Amino acid sequence: MDCLREMKEEERGELGLVLRAFTKQNCRICRVLGLWGDLGDGVLYLASEKQKRGNFLDKNLGCFEKEGVFNFALMGMEMCEAVISLHKEGLIAGCLSFSCFQLDDFGHIYLDLIEVLLTGRGIQDVVANVGFSGKKIGDGEIRMLFKDLLKRDVFVCPEVLLKLLEKEGTGVECCSLKYPIRYSSDAWLLSCILLRIVNGDVFSDEWVEYMCHIIVKGSENSEIDCSSVYTSSMEKVSSLLGTKFGAECVSLQQILCKCLDLDPESRSLVVDVWKCIRELVIRPQFDKMVKLYGASYDENVGRCMVVGKLCLLSRERTETQEKDELQGKEANGATDMVNGLTEGRIKWKDLQGHLDCVTGLAVGGGYLFSSSFDKSVKVWSLQDYSHVHTFRGHEHKVMAVVCVDEEQPLCISGDSGGGIFLWSINIPFGQEPLKKWYEEKDWRYSGIHALAVSENGYLYTGSGDKLIKEWSLRDGTLSGTMTGHKSVVSAIAVNNGVLYSGSWDGTVRLWSLSDHSLLTVLGEDMPRAVSTVLSLAADQHTLIATYENGSVKIWRHDVLRKSMQIHNGAIFTVSLDGKWLFTGSWDRTIKAQELAGDDVEVDVRHIGSIPCDSVITALSYSEGKLFVGFGDRTVKVYYHGK
């Protein structure tokens, strides 16, 4: 409620319009469920339902031939119906991407409003990166902008793009176009998407040339030139469509081309496109059932989502966050190690003392903790990296270690026999654990494989018995069990009220910490033989999973955004700190990557690699230094060699 009160009236009004219109079931629109406040990061979220089958358009590019015109028509009708439903509520999308359209279990198409807003935010970011306030951009920048959008399968019409550039204070050389944003702006977007689906990359190339010409040269003095370019481009588009579907689709060719007219008032409306496509399915003389009542709109009340406040709010928060994080990291030297890696000036210090393979690392309370197969946990000073203490007492191999860095700082270790030990890290260090308890013993299973702690005082264990268990740190009692994995739970992570669990069964499951309910399952479609999950890392809405075959998968908002093969062997460990991603593998190499992009597309930039003498088994990146555990019993600290 505080967040809503602090919003400007225009922002609150736009949010209210979306909530009023789409919390009820609406034709072809994914239902908005409401607002959710995350007290952890202080953000108010807009939540909507998601269709299980997800995006499908990018898998059907160029697949439609003459015999597929009926399927194309059904798909096009439902896409039009979704946009018409948006218009009936007084909203104009202003931008659309393939990801905005989702498929349900019955093969019907729905428009996802959250994806529309995310697409809008992505477009605003692209526009902001092209120019800066007071600058005028030309043909080169415009061409680069459209190619960038097309790589993401994102479409925006000329009047919306010029409005966004105007809001950024960026002008376009030789351009004096001043067209208003209307409901027909969305007809442009639908026409582009339908033509792209039919013609694939051929349409994309033609579209870039057309857009560049009409925006850069579309001034009042070159209307004849623009008209000739429009005519030429539309002839090519019509020819491409005619080649695919034949002469029976002439009316469709004409109306889709009309939707691409430079002047919004001259374009067809989405309703007209719907009627034209419907005639491919049902001949007009037999179509007596549908009249499409209420499909007329008042152009004076339509709100464009991409230039509205909801998209801008997300971007304003992102820019503030990035600025704060950058300032904080520079103050703490958190980019030191990364800078050293790019400059080729990395140094390291060896920490020796373990008698067997290092299995885990944790940083907290001014110390580094390392666990090992030698049944011990060693404590190292972060000031001079000297050995301070060794926790002993485990009767089995210590598989994982975590820290609780609060009023009473704790080190927690778990072993392969199911033992859980809580150690005080106050000086002087004790020889005995504060508490210890054991999982229920079962000779068939291999004990604890992973540990994680939450802010509300609970410990989570992933075990060989395929279960995730929640334990109270106060008294060690078992307070909950999460079931569903079909093999060893090999990795767990906690972030923003969600528990992530990875397993040898190849899946990552997301659980609510509040009631232990299963939120979703990721990776069910991957073959188990090559997709054993070995480690997880989560930061805000980004989830990283590493696999036995050397691949890394990146999810944002539970949607797979990137999959890449970066190692030549199993990736045993991963560390994620903001945009910095580190992985360690069986191939004896540490790789550093920088994550960029937005919620629609993730870009990964390789920073550098560190060749090692042994298999990397544990990583932890903290305050500009990378702590690494190895299979040869050593721990190394990598830092900038200034």
The percent of residues in the chain predicted with pLDDT above 90, rounded, is: 37
- Which residues contact residue 323 at a Cβ distance below 8 angstroms, ignoring those fewer than 6 apart? none
Q: Name the DSSP letter for residue 30.
A: P
Complete domains list, the chain, with CATH? 1-47 (no CATH), 50-285 (1.10.510.10)
Residue 475, token pair as written in the block: 């008294």
Q: What is the pLDDT of residue 217?
A: 53
Give the Cα separation of 20 and 516 in Å (integer). Answer: 31
CA angle, residues 168, 120, 543, in degrees to nearest 5: 115
What backbone torsions phi and psi does residue 193 show, to the nearest 5 degrees? -65, -45
Would you call 247 helix, strand, or coil by DSSP? helix
Query: Mean of the per-residue pLDDT values for the chain?
Result: 82
Other Cβ atoms within 10 Å of 274 Cβ, number: 22
Lowest-confidence region among 87-96, 283-292, 337-346, 423-432 = 283-292
Q: What is the pLDDT of residue 407?
A: 74
pLDDT over threshold 60, residue 320: no
pLDDT over threshold 90, residue 105: no
Q: What is the pLDDT of residue 373?
A: 95
**Tokens 């049902």 belong to which residue?**
282
Q: Label residue 219 by pLDDT band (50, 70, 90).
A: very low
Q: Give the C-alpha distances (Å, rounded to integers) separating 8 from 4, 318, 606.
A: 9, 18, 41
Strands 398-404 and 542-547: unpaired
Give the residue from 411, 535, 422, 530 showing the smallest Cα distance to 475.
422
Residues 600-620 have pLDDT tens digits of 788 898 988 999 989 999 999
**Tokens 């702590």 belong to which residue?**
627
Residues 232-242 have pLDDT tens digits of 777 777 777 77
Q: What is the pLDDT of residue 185?
A: 93
> Who wins on pLDDT, 229 or 514?
514
Would you call 131 helix, strand, or coil by DSSP? coil
Q: Name the DSSP letter for residue 200.
A: T
pLDDT over threshold 60, residue 330: no
pLDDT over threshold 70, residue 208: no
Residues 550-598 have pLDDT tens digits of 999 999 988 899 999 999 999 999 999 988 999 999 999 999 999 988 7
Residues 127-185 have pLDDT tens digits of 776 654 456 776 667 777 777 777 677 888 888 888 888 887 777 765 666 788 999 99
CB 360 within 8 A of CB 370: yes
Rounded to two decimals, the pTM is 0.52
What backbone torsions phi and psi does residue 377 show, to the nearest 5 degrees? -125, 120
Q: What is the pLDDT of residue 5?
A: 80
- Mean pLDDT within 285-305: 63
Q: What is the pLDDT of residue 379?
A: 94
Other Cβ atoms within 10 Å of 301 Cβ, number: 8
Burial pattern 588-626, b for ≥16 Cβ within 10 A else e, equals bbbbbbebebbbbbbebeebeebebebbbbbbbbbebbb
